[in-house]
Structures are given as structure tokens and as C-alpha cells.
Amino acid sequence: MMRRPIVIAHRGASGYLPEHTLPAKALAYGLGADFLEQDVIATRDHRLVVLHDVYLDDVTDVAQRFAGRHRDDGRHYVVDFDLAEIATLTVCERRAPASGAVRFPSRFPAATGISGVSTLATELRLIQGLNKSMGRTVGIYPEIKDPQWHRQHGIDLAALLLAELAAFGYVRAEDPAFVQCFDARELVRVRENFGCALPLIQLVEPTPEYAELLTADGLKRVARYAHGLGPSHTQLARGESGRPRLTPLAGLARDCGLRLHPYTFRRDELPSYAQTLEELLEFFFVEARVEGVFCDHPDIAVRVRDRAIEVQ
């Protein structure tokens, strides 16, 4: 029988509700996700909040509430605000601040804000509370976002995150938590300097800066500190005459013992070789045999995963 890959709710059930809001996390929990993702950013007073970007403009009403608090580039950065100020903001669907264009027009109405910015502690309390009341164990999947940026502003984000995780009981290798980061040096530091026992996931992008890391030798080095690799799904499969094929990266990672947790699967952003999200996910579960997927629509991923297991 096929092993059971995990479904990671990408920023919660972000295909249905504004990303990283508590309602999106609660919905993802209810839709059967195995892990809920948290992108972690620090405020000016060193509090941890759950947001994808180091700035607030794309998903909140910060420009209306705090006129004149932007930097020269026009952005309002999280690190320039205290938590009490950020707590006054409303989160909405992602949009381009310059044009106001919504990234995914078919999703939740962009003009409707339903929740505020969540602290990491509040989200962890929600997940652990649901685990108790629902009798399930749903894990967490925090990302150390832009650690160098935070360090430039006098904040050791990794240290703050690991301390918060420890306070909630996430310290052992068997605890239901992964820690992810795009910065390889930071993950090495987390493993070696902090002695973190949680499984680490090395995130990578299809950009030149990761070329050396994704060679056979580079992946061997990754395997010394990381449990797995989190590439874009476009790095693992390519369309050819309407049919997908695996890239060499999948085999290279497996040769080094790295698990594969590709991102981001969403029904409103499909590669040319897939007609539906179900078709795309089935290829990755059955043919690519990945150990997990980041998905905006966790209910679809759970359904396809479970069906794939049944037919094996």
C-alpha cells in the first residue's frame, strides 16, 4: 500500500479564506489537513506574528490606518510597528498595493475583511485547543522568514521562534512540527548552534542562487542538517507534449535520503500540463511519490491523497 503523504495547508485554507487568518486555519483544520503552515515575522517590539511578507501592504489595510508610516519605497514594514498597532489591522485577500488588483479574483471577496493579524502564540493555542476538542493531532509548519532582514533590524528571528515553539512543547524530533526556511545558513545554525531536534525543511526556488545547492554534492550537504527539501512543484516536474515528466531533482534528493514537500498546489494556478488540481495532485502523489504537499485547497489534496492510497 502507498505510504501516507502529508497535506500541509498553505497559509491555512487560503484558497477559501484570506491567508494566515485564524478562520483560514480553523477551516483547514476542519477540512482534514495534517499540518498548518505559519510564516513567522517579528514586530518592532519583538513579538511574533503570522504573515507571509515582511511588509503589510498586500494583505492588510495598513495604508488607510497608518498614513505616512511607509518607507521611501512606499511599503509599510512589520518591523516598523508594535504589536498593538498591528492588532488594529484587518486582513483581506492578497492584492497588488500599487494597482489594487486582486491576485486570485475567484477567491473570497477582496473588499471583505473578516479577521486581524494573528500572533504565533494565538495560532498555536488555537491548534492545540482543536487537537484536544477534536481528538486529532494536527501539526504545525512554521517558516523562519527572511532571517537576514530581521538580523539587520536587531532581531534574531530563529531564536525567538524556537523559544516560542519550546514554550508550546514543540522540541523533540517526534513532536508534530517542521521548521522551514529558504536560508541554508540559517537552517544550519538552527541545527548546530541551537541544537534544534525538530525536522528541518530546506526550501528552494527555481532561481540561480539555489543552483549549487541543488547539485548532487549540494544536496548531500543539505541532508546533513535537513529532513527534507521544499521545492516549487515546477522544479520537480515539467510538461512535455501535454504530459508531465519528473526532473532529475526528484531522484537526486531521494538518493540523499531527503523527503520531498513541494509547494504550492492551487486550483487557480495550474501548469500547462494539468487540467485540474486533482490531476496535478494525483501525478505528484502517485508518480512523483512525494512525502507531502503544500496546498491552498487542503480538502482537495486530502481527497486525492486518500483515493490514491486506496487504489495502490
Separation between Cα atoms, residue 116 and residue 122, nearest integer Å = 12
> What is the DSSP track for 80-137?
GS-HHHHTT--B-S-B-TTT--BSSTTSS-TT---B-PPBHHHHHHHHHHHHHHHT--
Q: Among this protein's residues, is 52 annotated catalytic? A: yes
Residue with cell 541551537: 194
Which cell goes with 169?
Answer: 512543547
Give the 3-state secondary structure of residue 195: coil
Position of cell 486555519?
A: 25
Q: How far apart are the C-alpha atoms of 249 and 219, rounded to whole Å?
A: 10
Q: Answer yes or no: 261 catalytic.
A: no
Q: Which of 10, 76, 261, 297 is catalytic?
A: 10
Catalytic residue from among 20, 52, 233, 297: 52
Residue 263 CB-density burial (10 A; 0-12 exposed, 13-18 middle, 19+ buried): buried
The catalytic site residues sit at 10, 52
